[in-house]
């Protein structure tokens, strides 16, 4: 189920079918191309901690319980919330939380099975059926947020003061009350809730199934999008060009469909935002992230202003290394001539990441270990499997699951470190309980990017030659540029897209032009752009699944860079403060979480500090040219 409006904040684990934390797309390729068994025994998910299978009696029992629990909840509380005392409201919240746990468990199971093979009709049907049933069951609960937001602030504050256990849930109520100005009537909220399954959720599924089913022909052989995207990282320039042109061909053939998806979702959002009196298309995301618009604007402006000293400077340097006067888009992710082409097998990747985590703190490695030993990671590339990588927290009474498409490149090792960081974060935050564990997107990338940094530093320290160090530094800079510069360019594209859609239907050519306007600005003058690159917006899942999600990557990277600087300064209490921050989940505002480290994201200098770390790495690379 993908709840809309206020319900999206009350059902944090059910948002967007199942709540996934997605990585920025990183190209991978087909296992057969990678050498298959050379990577070792790649793990698959064991989903039995959720349910044994889709016909498990426990799943049927939970579905029955959920239907009755929702109906009983409505019967017991609808029209009565304002009359509850502190103990009564606490019991009400805890009953609601248990409903969230059971519904989240079902949807997690259905969603994870689906993402293992998005082209399997039976799995797609099972997910849709679960969505339909849970949407129907939870419709009577729409009153909950609406009635809470009618209770006067002073009355709620008084109840919080009376009961310490109830007060623990205050952050949830604060977020709900932030939505109060945008709340609709009971009937309209219920309509949006019911309609969501055939609205945005359906368009999301169409997008996923279309992307997973695309076929690309390379040297007479058909392959999927992951294999083709990976060609953009090949050491042979002709191969990279071949991959880029085939991507452009297939995206171009499907651009009308992707344009329809974006037009529809942007218009749907515009309509709902209008009814909710949202001042901007971005407002809902900022409210969900519990971050002030001016903080996001400060981040965006700092990154855009830094384009010349970051991406423009680095890519000019890379063009020199590649012996090119001008770079084409297929050169952006090209490996350096010094790059070692050897793959890292699964056991070696696990050892490297676990040692990096243990060097920071043994407890971090202890938390990460079950992911490898208990079937919590699905690593291999398989037909129909969702592209990219993500970590899904499921519910706080179970454990997270990590999905990868592992092919043994150093970048894949970094992706493992990234997603495992999410997993560690989700395990630690689970002690907050279902309603408070979910971390706003702006903070959700903290542990993942920090885990990447720990792993990168360990790999850098182990580099034996100047060429190895140069290649690692360059790869890290590229990943940072992809995380910060590219994601802010994506954010600007989305802002332009939603603003333009508000003026009327957009043709594919209109969307293409918006895409190119941010690409040229962010990548710099060293690039030229092949015909067809203008359609490359079409495969980015974040634009479809989570509008304006992308700035969270830049927020997280800047935050982690600042955090890592504090760590390198030798704060003896850093590990304790860091674990406390992760354990807080969504129970505290970013200002409160960063205060123990002496950091403040509302200070524009905060972002400059983080960006300076990227600039410093480019300085090191330039110094190697001397």
pLDDT in tens, 487-497: 999 999 999 99
Look up residue 527 and give its DSSP letter: B
pLDDT (0 to 100) of residue 467:
86
For 457-485, b where at least 16 C-beta lie within 10 A, e where not — what string?
bbbeeeeeeeebbbbbbbbbbbbbbbbbb
With contact defined as beta carbons under 8 Å apart, do 167 and 232 qualify? no
Answer whether residue 195 shows pLDDT above 80.
no
Other CB atoms within 10 A of residue 266 CB: 22
Residue 505, judged by CB atoms within 10 A of its CB (0-12, 13-18, 19+), counts as exposed
- State the residue for tokens 């993500």: 390
Other CB atoms within 10 A of residue 320 CB: 12
For 236-263, b where at least 16 C-beta lie within 10 A, e where not — what string?
eeebbbbbbebbbebbbebbeebbebbb
Compare 92 and 343 and report the one with higher pLDDT.
92
Lowest mean pLDDT among 369-378, 423-432, 523-532, 609-618: 609-618
Other CB atoms within 10 A of residue 179 CB: 20
Q: Which whole number is the average pLDDT over 186-197?
A: 77
Compare 626 and 577 and report the one with higher pLDDT.
577
pLDDT (0 to 100) of residue 626:
61
Q: Which whole number is the average pLDDT over 33-53?
A: 83
Q: Which helix (H) or strand (E) segment is 377 a member of?
A: strand 377-378
| Residue 290: partners with Cβ closer than 8 Å, 6 or more residues away | 175, 178, 440, 442, 586, 589, 590
Lowest mean pLDDT among 65-69, 227-231, 402-406: 227-231
With contact defined as beta carbons under 8 Å apart, do 180 and 191 qualify? no
Q: Crossing angle of helices 346-360/410-429, nearest 10°?
A: 50
Candidate ranges 224-238, 247-261, 541-555; pick with highest mean pLDDT: 247-261
State the virtual CA torsion across 179, 181, 186, 191 in degrees, nearest 10.
-70
**Distance from C-alpha of 102 to C-alpha of 137, rounded to nearest angstrom:** 12
With contact defined as beta carbons under 8 Å apart, do 573 and 554 qualify? no
Q: How far apart are the first and last CA of the chain?
A: 57
Q: Which whole number is the average pLDDT over 546-553?
A: 89
The 3 state secondary structure assigned to 415-474 is: HHHHHHHHHHHHHHHHHHCHHHHCCCHHHHCHHHHHHHHHHHHHHHHCCCCHHHHHHHHH
Q: Extract the tokens encoding 620.
A: 């090191």
DSSP states of 269-324: HHHHHHHTT-SSTTHHHHHHHT--HHHHHHHHHHHHHHGGGTHHHHHHHHHHHTT-
Answer whether residue 23 shows pLDDT above 50.
no
Which domains, ranges and CATH numbers included, belong to the chain?
Answer: 7-17+40-205 (1.20.140.70), 215-339+486-545 (no CATH), 346-482+551-616 (1.10.1370.40)
Nearest C-alpha neighbor of 407 from the set 385, 382, 380: 380
With contact defined as beta carbons under 8 Å apart, do 310 and 611 qualify? yes
The 3 state secondary structure assigned to 112-165 is: HHHHHCCCCHHHHHHHHHHHHHHHHHHHHHHHHHHHHCCCCHHHHHHHHHHCHH
pLDDT (0 to 100) of residue 15:
32
Q: Give residue-wise pLDDT tens across range 383-400.
A: 899 888 999 999 999 999
**Distance from C-alpha of 385 to C-alpha of 404, rounded to nearest angstrom:** 10
Greatest CA span in the chain, whole angstroms? 75
Beta bridge partners, 217, equal 222
Q: Which whole number is the average pLDDT over 590-598?
A: 91
pLDDT (0 to 100) of residue 13:
34
Q: Which whole number is the average pLDDT over 259-285?
A: 94
Answer whether residue 208 shows pLDDT above 80.
yes
- State the residue for tokens 């609808």: 78
**Distance from C-alpha of 537 to C-alpha of 352, rounded to nearest angstrom:** 34
With contact defined as beta carbons under 8 Å apart, do 289 and 441 qualify? yes
pTM score, whole prediction? 0.79
Q: Which whole number is the average pLDDT over 515-521?
A: 95
Residue 249 CA, distance from chain mean position: 28
pLDDT (0 to 100) of residue 37:
67
Answer whether residue 241 shows pLDDT above 80.
yes
Answer whether residue 340 shows pLDDT above 70.
no
With contact defined as beta carbons under 8 Å apart, do 378 and 111 qualify? no
Q: Give residue-wise pLDDT tens across range 147-181.
A: 998 899 999 999 999 999 999 999 999 888 888 88
Answer whether residue 136 shows pLDDT above 50.
yes
Answer whether residue 29 shows pLDDT above 70.
no
pLDDT (0 to 100) of residue 468:
84
183: left (phi over 0), alpha (psi -120 to 50) or beta: beta
Answer whether residue 4 shows pLDDT above 70.
no
Work out the mean pLDDT of the chain and round it to a whole number. Answer: 89
Task: Kindly list the distances between the CA atom of residue 278 and the CA atoms of 18, 191, 293, 486, in Å, as whole numbers in the listed order.
Answer: 25, 19, 13, 27
């Amino acid at each position: 189920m993908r709840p809309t409006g206020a319900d999206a904040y009350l059902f944090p684990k059910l948002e967007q079918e199942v709540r996934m934390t997605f990585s920025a797309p990183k190209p991978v390729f087909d296992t057969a191309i990678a050498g298959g068994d050379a990577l070792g025994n790649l793990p698959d998910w064991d989903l039995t901690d959720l349910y044994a299978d889709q016909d498990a009696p426990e799943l049927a029992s939970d579905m029955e319980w959920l239907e009755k629990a929702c109906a009983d909840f409505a019967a017991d509380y609808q029209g009565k919330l304002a009359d509850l005392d502190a103990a009564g409201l606490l019991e009400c919240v805890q009953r609601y939380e248990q409903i969230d746990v059971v519904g989240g468990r079902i949807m997690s199971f259905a969603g994870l099975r689906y993402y293992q093979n998005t082209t399997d009709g039976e799995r797609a049907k099972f997910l849709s059926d679960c969505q339909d049933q849970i949407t129907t069951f939870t419709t009577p609960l729409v009153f909950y947020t609406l009635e809470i937001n009618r209770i006067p602030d002073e009355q709620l504050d008084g109840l919080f003061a009376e009961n310490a256990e109830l007060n623990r849930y205050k952050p949830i109520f604060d977020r709900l009350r932030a939505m109060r100005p945008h709340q609709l009537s009971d009937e309209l909220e219920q309509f949006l809730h019911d309609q969501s399954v055939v609205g945005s959720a359906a368009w999301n599924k169409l997008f996923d199934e279309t992307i997973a089913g695309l076929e690309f022909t390379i040297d007479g052989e058909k392959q999927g999008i992951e294999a083709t995207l990976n060609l953009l990282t090949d050491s042979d320039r002709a191969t990279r060009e071949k991959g880029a042109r085939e991507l452009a061909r297939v995206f171009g053939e499907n651009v009308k469909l992707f344009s329809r998806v974006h037009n529809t979702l942007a218009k749907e959002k515009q309509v709902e935002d209008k009814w909710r009196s949202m001042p901007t298309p971005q407002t809902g995301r900022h409210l969900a992230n519990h971050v002030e618009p001016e903080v996001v604007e400060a981040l965006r402006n700092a990154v855009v202003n830094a384009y010349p000293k970051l991406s423009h400077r680095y890519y000019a340097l890379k063009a020199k290394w590649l012996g090119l006067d001008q770079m084409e888009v297929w050169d952006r992710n090209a490996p350096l001539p010094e790059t070692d082409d050897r793959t890292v097998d699964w056991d070696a990747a696990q050892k490297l990441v676990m040692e990096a985590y243990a060097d920071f703190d043994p407890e971090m490695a202890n938390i990460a270990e079950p992911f490898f030993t208990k079937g919590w990671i699905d690593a291999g590339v398989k037909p129909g499997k969702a592209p990219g990588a993500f970590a899904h927290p499921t519910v706080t009474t179970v454990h997270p699951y990590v999905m990868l498409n592992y092919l043994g490149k150093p970048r894949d090792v970094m992706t493992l470190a990234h997603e495992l960081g999410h997993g560690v974060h989700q395990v630690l935050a689970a002690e907050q309980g279902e309603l408070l564990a979910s971390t706003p997107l702006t903070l959700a990338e903290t542990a993942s990017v920090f885990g990447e940094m720990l792993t990168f530093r360990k790999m850098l320290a182990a580099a034996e030659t100047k060429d190895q160090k140069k290649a690692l530094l360059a790869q890290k800079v590229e990943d940072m540029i992809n995380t910060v510069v590219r994601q802010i360019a994506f954010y600007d594209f989305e802002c332009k897209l939603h603003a333009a859609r508000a003026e009327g239907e957009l043709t594919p050519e209109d969307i293409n032009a918006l895409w190119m306007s941010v690409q040229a600005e962010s990548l710099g003058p060293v690039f030229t752009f092949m015909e067809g690159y203008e359609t490359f917006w079409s495969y980015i899942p974040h634009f479809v699944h989570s509008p304006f999600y992308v700035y969270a990557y830049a927020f997280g990277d800047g935050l982690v860079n600042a955090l890592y600087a504090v760590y390198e300064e030798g704060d003896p209490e850093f590990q304790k403060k860091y674990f406390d921050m992760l354990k807080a989940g969504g129970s505290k505002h970013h200002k409160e979480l960063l205060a123990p480290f002496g950091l403040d994201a509302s200070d524009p200098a905060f972002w400059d500090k983080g960006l300076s770390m990227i600039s410093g790495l480019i300085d090191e690379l330039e110094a190697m040219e001397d």
